[in-house]
Amino acid sequence: MAKIIPFKAVRPTRDKVSLVASRSYQSYTHEQLESRLRDNPFSFLHIINPGYKFDKIISGKERYQLVKNRYLEFKEASIFKQDQKPCYYVYKIIDREGQEFNGLIAAASVLDYKNNVIKKHEDTISSKEITFKNYLKTVGFNAEPVLLTYPKNKSIEQIISKAQKERAEFEFTTTYRDTHYLWLINESEDLNEIEIAFKNIDTLYIADGHHRSASSQLLCEDLKQENKNHQGDENYNYFMSFLICEDELKIHEFNRLVKELNGLSKEEFLIKLDTVFRIENRGELPYKPSKQHHFSMYLDGEFYSLYLRRTDFEFKTALDTLDAQILYKTILKPILGIIDLRNDDRIDYLSGKKDMVYLKSKVDSNEFKVGFGMLPATIEQMKQIADEGLKMPPKSTYIEPKLRSGVAIYEF
């Protein structure tokens, strides 16, 4: 039984939302970031990059406090205003390819996360959890929701459809040609209907935002200890989420790039691969696998197809069927000596949104020695791995939609 609640979001005014909304700042190049900070005084990037005002790179606790200061300045200037009544927020994105994503922004329960009602499929890094918890504790808000998914549900579908018949509170198109819409739901009858609909859902799954969820739990534990009058309904007992039906998720793979062959020559490397894979040389034309458990490889100016020899690999768990795990268990760890996928600087990851031509260019530039391509995981694999209490290797999935920061903000 999942618990989600409405909340009073802090939002940009309608006339400024398109100027405020930003992608995650890590997704910008240095030049793009500089341009937006220079030319757009309303960008949310000014809040999360407060050092720009002082022409200085600022980190740690000093940065956290300045983020809070910039946020308060945006509120004082009435760029941001807080809703007077708790709301659920229907959010819709139509991307440049015409795909639609429809869901609800709401506050999800930390207790549900702790009790595995909200299930995980990726490992987190403790140091990152603590760093982000300390950040949240200082700034007092979260501007980027965790992406949660649920099975197809007719009641929720009807609620979203009903809201979308009204004029949207926000409608704006980004320079990426994605169009974003937001509607408010704040009538008590509708709020109750949504809460009941989610109570009838046994499990939610994290699609994106494992570190944000884990950090929210740590934050809750801290603030609970510090609050002598803790009741359990304080804002810190929840975290902002975007809940979307699993049918509407778009899952991309993360391809792998490796800087060297662990001391092996090209011929020695291919011979070792031959024990686990049937190898075919595909020549210079880009090649992408067409089936699960098949891989593409680009090495020394040529593409290869790698077909897993089933007799040498046994599927015992849902994790064993995941291509990212197969690649790790058969090539990256035993042949290339890459054990720590998170911290080994010999490996890098390339979103499947970038095609095999781009992967080829990264190898041809001599930045990397070899590249591996695969098909994306499925939602069924992701759920089964979470249900079995297992964890995917890092960078196993790149999941859309990606919401813009600063459109709806959750305060603790």
- Per residue in 269-278, pLDDT tens? 999 999 999 9
Residues 6 or more apart whose CB falls under 8 angstroms from that of 221 comprise: none
pLDDT band for position 386 (cuts 50, 70, 90): very high
Residue 313 has pLDDT above 80, yes or no: no
Report the share of the chain in percent with pLDDT over 90.
Answer: 87
3-state DSSP assignment of residue 165: coil
Cβ 4 vs Cβ 197: under 8 Å: no
Per-residue confidence band for 51, with pLDDT thresholds at 50, 70 and 90: confident
**pLDDT of 75 higher than 90:** yes
Classify burial at 12, counting beta carbons within 10 Å of its beta carbon; exposed 0-12, middle 13-18, buried 19 or more. Answer: buried
Q: What's the token pair of residue 167?
A: 């004029």
Give this prediction's pTM: 0.91
Question: For position 411, what pLDDT does the model report?
Answer: 97
- For residues 88 and 213, give the distance between their C-alpha atoms in angstroms, rounded to a whole number: 19
Query: Alpha carbon 226 to chain centroid distance?
Result: 30
Look up residue 162 and give its two tokens: 């009903």
* Banded pLDDT at 102 (limits 50, 70, 90): very high
Concatenated DSSP letters of 338-373: ---TTT-TTEEEEETTS-HHHHHHHHHTTS-SEEEE
In whole angstroms, give the CA distance from residue 367 to residue 365.
Answer: 5
Residue type present at position 279:
I
Mean pLDDT across the stretch 380-393? Answer: 95
Query: b/e map of 93-102 (b: 16 or more CB within 10 Å)?
Result: bbbeeeeebb
How confident is the model over 344-353, as a mean pLDDT?
92
Q: What is the mean pLDDT of the chain?
A: 94
Cα–chain center distance at 293: 24
Q: How far is CA 364 from the centre of its chain?
A: 29
Q: Taking residues 4-20, report their average pLDDT.
A: 97
Q: How far apart are the first and last CA of the chain?
A: 24
Other CB atoms within a 10 A radius of the CB of residue 367 amount to 11
- Cβ proximity of 406 and 22 under 8 Å: yes
Q: What is the Cα 199 distance to its own chain's centre?
A: 25
Facing residues of 101 across strands? 93
Q: Where in the chain is the domain with CATH 3.30.1760?
A: 254-396
312, pLDDT greater than 80: no
CATH code: domain 254-396 is 3.30.1760
Residue 22 in 3-state DSSP? strand
- 134 phi, psi to nearest 5 deg: -65, -35
pLDDT value for 52: 83
Task: Report the pLDDT value the prediction gives residue 406, as an integer from 0 to 100.
Answer: 95
Both tokens of 89, joined, read 């927020």
User: Can you read off the two tokens belonging to residue 386?
Assistant: 């979470």
| CA R_g for the chain | 23
Is the pLDDT at 335 greater than 90? The verdict is: yes
C-beta neighbour count of 167 within 10 angstroms: 8
Q: How many CB atoms lie within 10 A of CB 394?
A: 19
Span 91-110, mean pLDDT?
Answer: 96
CA–CA separation, 303 and 406 (whole Å): 42
* 79's tokens: 């760029």
Least confident range of 119-123, 241-245, 283-287? 119-123
pLDDT of residue 24: 85
One-letter amino acid at 255 equals: N
Distance, C-alpha 227 to centroid of its chain: 31
pLDDT tens-place string over residues 238-270: 999 999 999 999 999 999 999 999 999 999 999
Q: How far apart are CA 169 and CA 22, in angstroms?
A: 18
